[in-house]
Amino acid sequence: MIRLIATDMDGTLLIHGTKGIPEPNLLALRQASARGVHVALCSGRMPEDMSFFASDAGVNAHILALNGSYCLDVPHGCCVSSRTMRKEDVEALCQTFNRFSGLHFELFSGNDLVINAVPSEDWEINVGTNLRRPGGHTHIYSSLAEGLTKIASRGVHKMVVVDEAMSGVLETIRGEIARSMPGVEVSSSWCNNLEIMACGVNKGAAVAALAKRLGLSMDQVMTLGDHENDIPMLACAGVGVAMENATPGAKAAAKYRTLANDRFGVAEAVRRFVLDKEDA
């Protein structure tokens, strides 16, 4: 019997261009929650941005943010788990990225964001829906030196490098990291980026840690996702469900499939594996 649903957001729970959780998905998650099933949002997004999605929807979800490196047990709550990168790895990565022209990179520290430069007017759309929301606590630093000083006490939870020109340079960078930086873990949430965390930090590890805190086995966990950074949690869950729009790697890691995100595949999977099972 499933007792924890952990879902990715972009490309899975959400539909591109929308600002909230689609009603069919929201209804299914509310019904599951009303039956005592825990719900977790698991994303590369920042914790406050994710928390607004949950609180706006009235879902008391666990927040596994920044690919599981910064976790909350309730939306807008206190951090219960934090894993940061080594300072020397952050410095080496910044130097590596700066060797290539045209790359944009970001450093995430809780709800603080440091960028090397503003690449375009709409870059924030790809980082978070609620970055400038009134009442929020997100700080954005467009000076790399200033930002690194401001976040030094907390550390860096995740780095992202983006190649908007799709020049192929990310594969070169990924190869360099694999050869010389054993202290980091590399993934991707889209075809033009790399996401980098401390070694051992990924969505699967975060979901497993949450299940352990809740006293659940992984057989009682359902995960849903669509991209490379979802593979660890799709592979470790008793019921791993890939979206129809998922990458081949994500589909290979999951035991099951559901409809595409724009056809409310999360709702379909929750009904099939959680709600209908309890009615049986």
What gap in Å lies between CA 109 and CA 139, rounded to an integer?
10
| Per-residue pLDDT reduced to its tens digit, 99-121 | 998 899 999 999 999 999 766 66
Structure tokens at 43: 């994303």
Looking at the structure of the chain, the number of domains it has is: 2
Q: Do residues 163 and 108 both lie within one domain?
A: yes
Q: Do residues 51 and 114 both lie within one domain?
A: no
pLDDT at 91 over 90: yes
Q: Do residues 190 and 256 both lie within one domain?
A: no
Please report, for residues 67, 161, 177, the alpha-carbon distance to residue 187 in angstroms, rounded to integers and kept in the order given: 10, 11, 11
3-state helix, strand, coil in the chain (%, to 5): 40, 20, 40
Q: Do residues 239 and 151 both lie within one domain?
A: no
Q: In which domain, by residue range, is 255 found?
A: 4-82+202-279
The larger pLDDT score, comparing residue 268 to residue 124, is at: 268
- Note the pLDDT of residue 165: 87
Q: What is the mean pLDDT of the chain?
A: 94
Contact between 115 and 127 under an 8 Å Cβ cutoff? The reply is no
What gap in Å lies between CA 74 and CA 59, rounded to an integer?
9
The residue from 146, 165, 198 where one domain ends is: 198
- Note the pLDDT of residue 42: 98
Contact between 21 and 33 under an 8 Å Cβ cutoff? The reply is no
From edge to edge, which strands make up the β-sheet containing 38-42? 79-82, 70-72, 62-65, 38-42, 4-7, 221-225, 239-242, 256-257
For position 15, which CATH number holds?
3.40.50.1000
- Note the pLDDT of residue 127: 84
| Per-residue pLDDT reduced to its tens digit, 191-241 | 999 999 999 999 999 999 999 999 999 999 999 999 999 999 999 999 999
- Note the pLDDT of residue 119: 65
For position 144, which CATH number holds?
3.30.1240.10
- Note the pLDDT of residue 70: 98
